[in-house]
Structure 1
Amino acid sequence: MSARPHDGGFCARRRNCITGLATLALAGAMPAAFAQQASTNFPNRVVRIIPFGTAGGPIDVIARVYADKLQQRWGQSVIVEPKPGASGIIASDAVAKAPPDGHTVLFTLPLTHINNAILQPKLPYDPVKDFEPISQLASGGPMLVARADAPYSNLKEFVAYAKAHPGLTYGTWGNGSQAHLMGELLKRQSGLSLTHVAYKSESAAHNDMIGGMLDFAWANPSTARVQSQAGKMKVIGIAGSRRVSTLPNVPTFADQGFAGFDLDSWIGVYAPAKTPPAVIEQWNQALREITRMPEVQSRLVAFGFEPLGNTPAQFRASYQADFPRVAELIKAAGVTAE
């Protein structure tokens, strides 16, 4: 007679176990199901691209080129929404805290994820844990520029002039930016007395330089080409690993006998952490195909960038290789957060 309660208890426990196992199995299947559903439904509403810098800046313009192609491809509205300020921290933080569904991504430079990570002790985001890398679209280097009437035309002449006129000021698009690092490295290597002035945008620095409030500045190759052709500035050299096709006569720093300036910048695209892999893959495939389009490549080249369009794994590997080099450069240049 005692068997019945025992059997009943066993059966009840067995039913509970089966129910529990089924629940666990269902829970285990949910992430995969969510990822599949996210992939199937993506995009199902407006897609936002948040670019580094101000409206009309180089990354904003490039982001709009991609937004137009993505909108044609997906049949969904793709808007570009700049959030300038704080050396890209505001834009990056907005994406880090966005829903991880692929509908908000960041178009940015190394400043937000490498330079700021080294220089800023309390970022509101973690450059690694809070983002999923999607693709590096292109790479390039900044150019040192001066007013058209500057009494020097190459790097050696510039150094000689700067030594004879200590205290020259120069502008960049942010503290700790690639241009800032190159300026401080040049200062240290050549024994110059230079003062860095950080601006919210490249154009603001150029306006002050042309207006006589700055002695020299840094520029992306597209701006340098347009402004030099307009007779407003001259290009002294490019701090990067190669010359650019739109300004083939502008030598690199290495061409002019100055070593250590071959660390290229890049344009990278990130999604919030925990964005489903299937959505990341959709983004990556779309960006890589768009980057291969001749009209898009010509726009990137016009800005002085070499088109890339790599995979998330390649982007991650590139980031890991760049990080120690930038850290070493920051140390050598003596750049600090302020």
Structure 2
Amino acid sequence: MPARPKHGDSFRAQRRNVLRGGAAIAALAALPMAPRALAQQASGSFPSKVIRIVPFGTAGGPIDVIARVYGEKLQQRWGQAVIVEPKPGASGILASDMVAKAAPDGHTVLFTLPLTHINNAILQSKLPYDPVKDFEPISQLATGGPMLVARADAPYSNVKEFVAYAKKHPGMTYGTWGNGSQAHLMGELLKHQAHLELTHVAYKSESAAHNDMIGGVLDFAWANPSTARAQSQGGRMKALGIAGSRRVSTMPDVPTFAEQGFAGFDLDSWIGVYAPAKTPQPIIEQWTQALRDITRMPEVREKLINYGFEPLGSTPAEFKASYEADYPRVAELIKAAGVTAQ
């Protein structure tokens, strides 16, 4: 039989095992923490499950594409799966309501435009959500403005020529991605300012309106600058002017409405991110920092610029201040344009 170890030998063996275990624990503690571990340490267990981004609009639309860019970066940063679920229809009301009623744990957020939180609040007498009380602002990712576009063979190439043509051809129709959208407001403002007879047609998506315009169902439309550029390069449409405070670098030859003698069209749109109300502040802060860091990434900035947006990445306080400044301007524009709920 093998000799039984002496008591002293057993004690020394146990001591060696304890020391080895302690060294291993110390070595693990010295390793840098993974991003997800840091996140959990900073705000409890967040993120502890799949993160859901709900962009207003259709799959493949500008907000959906941008949401997927951020979703990929967030997944890399937090080590947690991120899914993007676009929710089109009802001028963004469906998407906003879905997020407003989600659990306030930071795992569901809304990527949206001013339409859902400013325009709808002014136009709609009753919404299923309160745009202020039911949401926590996280960040404005970028700002920009829509472009007035026409078929490539249209007999006008700028806003002035379009107005002159429209005066001689009353009853022209145009399409946008929703009643009360920024594009709709700009279209109606142009109608009233230039004394034109125009008819607005609201679509569920930008692409649906463009298909009808190119097919001859509509006379003209509004477009995101990235769509206008792609379709212009493809010989299917041309941009007449941009409604915003500046030209866009990807289409520098397209002048603003102001440059063409039309005032009041310098109200920029934006892409904003909201969480449900009562989401814990540490989680809001974590979201804000992540979105700001991602917005600064060169490849993300390039994507935003290609879509005609100026990268921003604001704080919640800055987002709130921008919202409060935009609200009365949009209300005034809605009144001037004569836009009503449908």
Q: Choose which of 196, 203, 223 in structure 2 pairs with 1:199.
A: 203
Is 1:48–1:79's contact at 8 Å kept on the other side of the alignment? Answer: yes
Q: Which residue in the other structure is 1:83 paired with?
A: 87
TM alignment of 1:27-176, pairs within 5 A: 39-176=43-180
Q: Choose which of 306, 310, 319 in structure 1 pairs with 2:310.
A: 306
TM alignment of 1:18-33, pairs within 5 A: none
CA–CA separation in structure 2 for the residues paired with 1:155 and 1:55: 31
Q: How many angstroms does 1:57 deviate by?
A: 0.4
Deviations 1:279-305 (A, max 9, x none): 000000000000000000000000000
Matched, 1:256 2:260: yes
Opposite residue 176 of structure 1, the aligned amino acid is G
Aligned residue pairs total: 303
Q: How many angstroms does 1:40 deviate by?
A: 2.1
Q: Which residue in the other structure is 2:7 paired with?
A: none
Opposite residue 315 of structure 1, the aligned amino acid is F
CA–CA separation in structure 1 for the residues paired with 2:173 and 2:213: 9
Q: Which residue in the other structure is 2:37 paired with?
A: none
Q: Indicate the SS of the match to 2:271.
A: strand
Q: Which residue in the other structure is 1:265 paired with?
A: 269
Specify every segment of 5 or more residues in structure 1 that has no aligned partner in the other structure, as ranges: 1-35
CA–CA separation in structure 1 for the residues paired with 2:120 and 2:212: 25
TM alignment of 1:316-331, pairs within 5 A: 316-331=320-335
Q: Which residue in the other structure is 1:210 paired with?
A: 214
Is 1:241–1:262's contact at 8 Å kept on the other side of the alignment? Answer: yes
Matched, 1:229 2:233: yes
CA–CA separation in structure 2 for the residues paired with 1:302 and 1:118: 31
Q: Indicate the SS of the match to 2:157.
A: coil
Q: Choose which of 187, 206, 214 in structure 2 pairs with 1:183.
A: 187
Specify every segment of 5 or more residues in structure 2 that has no aligned partner in the other structure, as ranges: 1-39
CA–CA separation in structure 1 for the residues paired with 2:325 and 2:173: 32
Q: Indicate the SS of the match to 2:301.
A: helix
CA–CA separation in structure 1 for the residues paired with 2:89 and 2:107: 22
Instruction: Please identify runs of 4+ aligned residues in structure 1 that moved more than 6 A.
Output: none
Q: How many angstroms does 1:38 deviate by?
A: 8.6
Q: Which has the larger radius of gyration?
A: 2
Q: How many angstroms does 1:37 deviate by?
A: 8.3
Q: Indicate the SS of the match to 2:125.
A: coil
Opposite residue 122 of structure 1, the aligned amino acid is K
Q: How many angstroms does 1:150 deviate by?
A: 0.2
Give the alignment's TM-score, normalised by structure 1: 0.89
Deviations 1:42-68 (A, max 9, x none): 000000000010000000000000000
Opposite residue 96 of structure 2, the aligned amino acid is S
CA–CA separation in structure 2 for the residues paired with 1:52 and 1:303: 16
Q: How many angstroms does 1:83 deviate by?
A: 1.2
Deviations 1:161-217 (A, max 9, x none): 000000000000000000000000000000000000000000000000000000000
CA–CA separation in structure 2 for the residues paired with 1:300 and 1:208: 27
Deviations 1:79-133 (A, max 9, x none): 1001111000000000000000000000000000000000001100000000000
